[in-house]
Amino acid sequence: GHLADTEHFGRVSRDYIVVPKADFDLPKYRGSTRAGHCMIYSRSEEKIFGIYTARAMILMQLRFDGYIGFPGGLIHEGEDILSGLNRELFEEVNVNVQKHPVKEEHYVVTHWCPSKKLLLHFYAVEIPINDLKVIEEEAVKAHDYGTETLGTLRIPLYTMGDGYRGFPAFLANSYVGNSREQLLYTLQHLSIMSNEEITKAVEARPVMLS
């Protein structure tokens, strides 16, 4: 199952527990802080440099604190998850949420962080590549651009000839919360990458030149 699989992937994974949807209403989660984040992506067979298959264009962002994360944020008191998530997507990335609303069908997984009493809901929305390019262009006009968010980025999903540059090097960045876990979980969940490929990338180390 996914829980066992994701336990291997991240340095932070032990702090985050997967919560099935049916358990959201349990007393232990009542009154907890909630957050919603989202992967906006397009599948793509595009060749990069004529060699590497893109697999997918996936948007993440650089945050004010220097960490990489997904767009999204805290759900306000009395706000439902999807309203809060769509609000944050507009604030942070200027997503046209009338055209590309996050809906229940986009739900992927929820993690619980016991130390912060935080329920982290995660979604993934597939959109056409041309719409993704529009989102990238519009993101610099977002309300929170320049303060909370410092720009969207695409993830290199290929691994280069030295076995490290590309996706393994990208994974060595600093990630907020469990967003690195969410990325790896969702790559597998959407069959963009196999469990074996993910494990290999996670375990790859840079080649040291003497």
Q: Does 177 bind ligand GTP (CB under 6 A)?
A: yes
Q: Verify binding: residue 100, ligand GTP, rule CB under 6 A.
A: no
Closer to Mn ion by Cβ: residue 116 or 165? 116
Any bridge partners for residue 125, and if so which?
Answer: 40
Q: How far apart are CA 79 and CA 48, in angstroms?
A: 41
Q: Interface residues for Mn ion in 35-74 (CB under 5 A)?
A: 73-74
For the bound state, the minimum distance from the C-beta of residue 189 to Mn ion, rounded and expressed in Å, comes to 22
Asked if residue 69 binds ligand GTP (CB under 6 A), the reply is: yes
For residue 120, give Cα distances in angstroms to 15, 61, 94.
12, 17, 22
CA pair distance 162, 130, nearest whole angstrom: 32
Angle at 183 between CA 200 and CA 17, to 5 degrees: 100
Regarding 34 and contact with ligand GTP (CB under 6 A), the answer is no
Position 104, amino acid: E
Least distance (Å) between residue 74 CB and Mn ion: 5
Give me the residues that bind ligand GTP (CB under 6 A), please.
35, 37, 69-70, 72-74, 88, 118, 120, 148, 176-179, 182
